[in-house]
Amino acid sequence: MSAPITPDLVTIPRKQSPDSKPDLIGLRRDALKTAFANIGTPEKQLNMRVNQIWGWMYQKGATSFDDMTNLSKDFRASLAENFQITRPEIVTRQISTDGTRKYLLRIAGGHEVEAVYIPEKNRGTLCISSQIGCTLTCPFCHTGTQKLVRNLTAGEIVSQILIARDDLEEWDKPAGDKRLISNIVLMGMGEPLYNFDNVRDAMLIAMDNEGISLSRRRITLSTSGVVPEIIRTGAEIGCMLAISFHATTDDIRDKLVPINRKHKIAELLQACRDYPRLSNSERITFEYVMLKGINDSNADARRLVKLISGIPAKINLIPFNPWPGSPYARSDWERIEAFADIVNDAGYASPIRTPRGEDIMAACGQLKSATERQRKSAKKIAQETGT
Ligand code: SAH
Ligand code: SF4
């Protein structure tokens, strides 16, 4: 257990009046082309202009047209008159004792969304959200207890990366291992495959070689099992896939991951077998949350390896992260290790995920609600103390 600490909490004041001009962040190249054509950019300059502005936004992190010094003054003025480049507001940034950073961001409509940066040895992973809340109701997941508020736009999804790069001062660095944000996981709030088009557009921006330039192998999308969109993910994004598997019989999976009632284990695993480019170096990650007495027996471990047999895979064991009122407990450490041994002996890597950022409630399945709860308790304290 981590010791209680006072995290580094930075509160940034709310922006006064949001500008209503269209924002260029999150637009695909073809949409940018149309936008620039609409303000009178000559046809033969369009591709060049898109490339220039794309580079400024996604390679250099520019947020002002004034900084785009290779564009004429007149063109810059015309851009500024018609468009904007904004970031969501950072409401709070918390830094855990283990270096994990959690950003609470405010987006259009006053909604709030979280992103988490997890530094590791020689790499760093940014965990981003795709929806505010979730329509699915996996009973062990705190996000699942919240109603879906709305899908994030492609701009809001990509902006989580841009904000973390601003904060970590990571603009203009070459691609590869030396980057602080070397990997992206879509494992924050929401079911990414219920917001497919926006997630796809955002990830295509993240992968674009003239911008953020992250390899598709460094992006992992986690899904509870939306089978038709798994097929589209392979075809239209091509990133790495993680499946929230969590149970080895349809009976138990129907309860733990309710989308299983629609897409059963056999159908899900067939989509995994058909996922393109699978090999020893491109494996599917099966996430498996360890719930005491529910899904953590030796028989479960043996069924699991049998089910995924033949799929290039690694199994990520996630010790359950409890939240107040959660109906489950974390499996004992010995149980998790015994489970991992069976999986390992069958030839699968089975890393046990170390919970990160526990002191700032940044662990898997705890996002957003934690902040709501903190607020509520702050309100309660204020009421009690009359402040
Ligand atoms: N909706 C997607 C992605 C977000 S959840 C999905 O379900 O895959 C990211 C991962 O955290 C999933 O594997 C999810 O099952 C897991 N998770 C959710 N709540 C958790 C909790 N309380 N403890 C541990 N893992 C949890
Ligand atoms: Fe939604 Fe994923 Fe949580 Fe299930 S685990 S409720 S799909 S965010």
pLDDT at 209: 94
Q: Are residues 39 and 164 in the same domain?
A: no
Rounded CA separation 38/50 (Å): 13
User: Both 150 and 43 in a single domain?
Assistant: no
Could you tell me the distance, in angstroms and rounded to a whole number, from the CA of residue 201 to the centre of ligand 2?
21
Question: Does the C-beta of 287 come closer than 6 Å to ligand 2?
Answer: no
pLDDT along the chain (387 residues), means of 10: 36 49 96 97 97 97 96 97 97 94 93 93 94 93 85 98 96 76 95 98 97 95 98 98 98 98 98 97 97 98 98 96 90 97 96 84 60 48 38
CA distances from 112 to 147, 209, 361, 378 (A): 13, 30, 16, 17
Q: What is the pLDDT of residue 363?
A: 67
Q: Tell me what percent of the residues of the chain surpass a pLDDT of 90.
A: 78
Cβ of residue 146 lying under 6 Å from some atom of ligand 2: no
Euclidean distance between CA atoms 215 and 222, whole angstroms: 17
pLDDT of res. 10: 42
Catalytic residue at 229?
Answer: no
Ligand 1 pocket check: which of 118, 125, 136, 141 to mutate, most ligand atoms within 8 Å of Cβ? 141
- Which one of the ligands is nearest to 134 CA? 2
Ligand 2 atom nearest the C-alpha of 189 is: 8
Structural domains counted in the chain: 2
Q: Are residues 105 and 76 in the same domain?
A: no
Residue 205 in any domain: the answer is yes
**Catalytic annotation on 364?**
yes
pLDDT in tens, 343-352: 999 999 999 9
CATH number of the domain enclosing 40: 1.10.150
Q: Do 68 and 151 reside in the same domain of the chain? A: no
Distances, alpha carbon 217 to alpha carbons 11, 61, 183, 196, 290, in Å? 35, 23, 9, 19, 26
Ligand nearest to the backbone CA of 258: 2
Domain of residue 298 covers 99-377
190 alpha carbon – ligand 2 mean position (Å) = 6
> Do residues 241 and 221 lie in contact, with contact meaning Cβ atoms separated by under 8 Å?
yes
In the prediction, which pLDDT does 19 show? Answer: 61
How many angstroms is it from 35 CA to the middle of ligand 1?
A: 38
Taking only the tens place, the pLDDT of each residue in 124-146 is 999 999 999 999 999 999 888 88
What separation in Å is there between the alpha carbon of 7 and the centre of ligand 1?
A: 24
